[in-house]
């Protein structure tokens, strides 16, 4: 019954509202002197009164203990009241059983995992791929200022895509390497050997010879990517200790063509992303939220923020088939750019669709038949070509040595050129 006691009487005692007590005049000085004692007396009186009231109520009806008061009309019969009492008793018994069952329940089953315990899609994707992302320590022999040989060291990343120990990385990471150390996130270290590379595509395959079980990342597809799709870049940024670095972003654009650095040929059909790609990230995977590799990180624009590029996994897969599976890939010998209305307007081109030829590699099938920069490829045989991705997909139906007919727009006029496909070059 303590909970029912009120603290209101204490608030009524104030020098301005109380002038007498039991008929004795009380001035402000007298009140101040006895105010604490008066408050205690009043509070104790109220407490005794409330407790006495509760005691008399409980004695008046022993059978009503624990019941909720029920309003009964004047014409209600005793039988009805008795029934209600029995129902109330039954209800109390049911409540008691439920309480007991609840008390005996396993508290662990009652606890549901909170949001902090749930893994995000990014975490799940990284968990799948990160064990297969390797650190590459590369030694390159160069010529010093005095003509003496010097050893230089570089770092990069790669991703294991086959349980036999094959690793995808960038050509510029391992080019001219005299020694390659491959370090897995679990600390294991192996010596790597380059078995094939393509400067034009900035791709290379490194092999590690081991019978140990290796983590493997799954190669996805890049032909179904969407602009705005979430992606994750994984790599050994700046060669920092502690394992691979993870950055997130979106697919900013598709089918990009950029000029290679330091005399390298242009690279085409690239994925543009705003996921941070820093030095040391080169050769690492760009993945989707399903944990599939959809690109190989390759370059960034130093003069801009949030602009990085990755070689599409479809391009990488064709290279892998050529190097690992020994399947020759058809080759024309051009570097192309997806044509758009904006580019056509900027350069005053006669059409706004197709693949604009930006470079023709020397001594290639395209060079031999006279294809030149500025030509716009419209069709390969009877297949319309609007993007570099479509051109690469169309070429998968042919083998080196097959003859095809290319439809080009040159200076506003359409021409047809017959061409014998060559074999895509690789360096072993």
Helices (H) and strands (E) in the chain, counts: 10, 23
Known catalytic residue: 202? yes
Instruction: List the end-to-end C-alpha distance of the chain, in Å, as a whole number.
Output: 92
- 297-312 confidence digits (pLDDT tens): 998 877 778 899 999 9
* Block residue for tokens 């990284």: 126
Please check whether residue 209 lies inside any domain of the structure.
yes
How distant, in Å, are the alpha carbons of 56, 91, 174 from that of 6?
A: 19, 32, 84
Tokens for 10, please give them: 């204490």
Instruction: Please work out, in degrees rounded to the nearest 5, the angle formed at the alpha carbon of residue 55 by the alpha carbons of 49 and 60.
Output: 125
Query: For 199-240, how does the pLDDT look when each residue is reduced to its tens digit (9 = 90+)?
Result: 989 999 999 999 999 999 999 999 899 999 999 999 998 878
The Cα 129–Cα 234 span in angstroms is 9
Q: Looking at 198, 202, 252, 314, which residue is catalytic?
A: 202
* Structure token digits, residue 38: 């008066």
DSSP string spanning 302-355? TTSSS-EEEEEHHHHHHHHHHHTS----EE--EEEEE--HHHHHHHT-S-SSSE
| Enclosing domain of residue 355 | 328-428
- In total, how many domains does the chain have? 3
Q: Please write the tens of the pLDDT for every residue from 359-392.
A: 999 999 999 999 999 999 999 999 999 999 899 8
CB-based contacts of 379: which residues, under 8 Å, 6+ apart?
385, 405, 406, 407
Domain-located, residue 374? yes
Domain final residue, candidates 218, 236, 263: 218
Residue 269 lies in a domain: no
Half-sphere exposure of residue 92, counting CA atoms within 13 Å on the CB side? 11
The gap from C-alpha 380 to its chain's centroid, in whole angstroms, comes to 38
User: What CATH number is associated with residue 173?
Assistant: 2.40.10.10
For the whole model, what pTM was predicted? 0.68
Comparing 47-56, 68-77, 418-427, the range with the smallest average pLDDT is 68-77
Task: Specify the pLDDT at position 103.
Answer: 43
Reply yes or no on whether the pLDDT at 350 is more than 60: yes
pLDDT (0 to 100) of residue 64 = 38
When the pLDDT of each residue in the chain is averaged and rounded to a whole number, the result is: 79
Q: Is residue 424 part of a domain?
A: yes
Q: Which of 282, 312, 338, 424 is catalytic?
A: 282
Share above pLDDT 90 across residues of the chain, in percent, rounded to a whole number: 57
pLDDT exceeds 70 at position 4: no
Q: Is the pLDDT of residue 99 over 80?
A: no
Of 121-125, 151-155, 408-412, give the lowest mean pLDDT range: 151-155
Task: List the CATH number of the domain containing 390.
Answer: 2.30.42.10
pLDDT surpassing 60 at residue 21: no
What is residue 164's predicted lDDT score, i.e. its pLDDT?
95
Of all residues in the chain, the percent with pLDDT exceeding 70 is: 71
For residue 242, pLDDT beyond 50: yes
Three-state secondary structure of 174-227: HCCEEEEEEECCCCCEEEEEEEEEECCCCEEEEEECCCCCCCCCEECCCCCCCC
pLDDT at 300: 80
Residue 58 falls in the annotated catalytic set: no
Instruction: Assess if residue 305 is contained within a domain.
Output: no
Let me know if residue 164 belongs to a domain. Answer: yes
Last residue of one domain, picked from the residues 162, 197, 218: 218
pLDDT top residue among 22 and 122: 122
Write down the pLDDT at residue 229. Answer: 97
Q: Is 282 part of the annotated catalytic residue set?
A: yes
pLDDT confidence of residue 43: 52
Q: Give the residue from 192, 218, 244 where a domain finishes.
A: 218
Q: Determine the pLDDT at residue 74.
A: 40
pLDDT at 27 exceeding the cut of 80: no
Residues forming beta bridges with residue 404, ordered by sequence position: 419
- Residue 113: pLDDT band (50, 70, 90) is low
């Amino acid at each position: 019954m303590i909970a029912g006691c009120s603290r209101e009487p204490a608030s009524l005692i104030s020098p301005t509202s109380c002038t007498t007590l039991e008929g004795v005049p009380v001035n402000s000085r007298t009140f101040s002197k006895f105010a604490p004692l008066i408050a205690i007396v009043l509070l104790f009186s109220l407490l005794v009164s409330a407790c006495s009231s509760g005691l008399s109520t409980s004695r008046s009806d022993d059978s009503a203990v624990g019941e909720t008061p029920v309003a009964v009309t004047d014409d209600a019969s005793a039988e009805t009241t008795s029934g209600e009492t029995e129902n109330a008793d039954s209800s109390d018994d049911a409540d008691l059983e439920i309480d007991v069952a609840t008390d005996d329940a396993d508290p662990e089953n009652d606890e549901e995992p909170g949001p902090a315990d749930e893994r995000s899609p990014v975490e799940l994707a990284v968990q799948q791929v990160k064990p297969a992302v390797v650190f590459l320590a590369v030694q390159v022999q160069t010529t010093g200022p005095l003509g003496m040989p010097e050893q230089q060291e570089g770092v990069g990343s790669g991703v294991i895509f086959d349980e036999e120990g094959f690793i995808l990385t960038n050509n510029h990471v391992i080019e001219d390497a005299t020694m390659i150390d491959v370090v897995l996130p679990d600390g294991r270290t192996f010596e790597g050997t380059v078995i094939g590379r393509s400067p034009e595509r900035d791709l290379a395959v490194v092999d590690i010879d081991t019978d140990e079980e290796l983590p493997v990342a799954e190669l996805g597809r890049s032909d179904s990517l969407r602009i705005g799709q979430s992606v994750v870049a994984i790599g050994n940024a700046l060669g920092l200790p502690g394992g691979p670095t993870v950055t997130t972003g979106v697919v900013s654009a598709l089918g990009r063509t950029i000029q290679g650095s330091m005399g390298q040929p242009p690279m085409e059909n690239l994925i543009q992303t705003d996921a941070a790609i820093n030095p040391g990230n080169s050769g690492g995977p760009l993945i989707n939220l399903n944990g599939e590799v959809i690109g190989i990180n390759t370059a960034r624009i130093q003069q801009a923020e949030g602009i990085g590029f990755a070689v599409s996994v479809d391009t990488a897969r064709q290279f892998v088939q050529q190097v690992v599976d020994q399947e020759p890939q058809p080759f024309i010998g051009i570097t192309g750019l997806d044509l758009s209305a904006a580019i056509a307007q900027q350069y005053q081109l006669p059409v706004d669709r197709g693949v604009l030829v930006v470079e023709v590699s020397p001594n290639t099938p395209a060079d031999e038949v006279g294809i030149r920069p500025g030509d716009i490829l419209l069709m390969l045989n009877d297949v319309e070509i609007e993007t570099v991705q479509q051109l690469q997909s169309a070429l998968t139906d042919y083998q080196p040595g097959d003859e095809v007919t290319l439809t080009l727009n040159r200076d506003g006029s359409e021409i047809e050129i017959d061409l014998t496909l060559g074999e895509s070059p690789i360096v072993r």
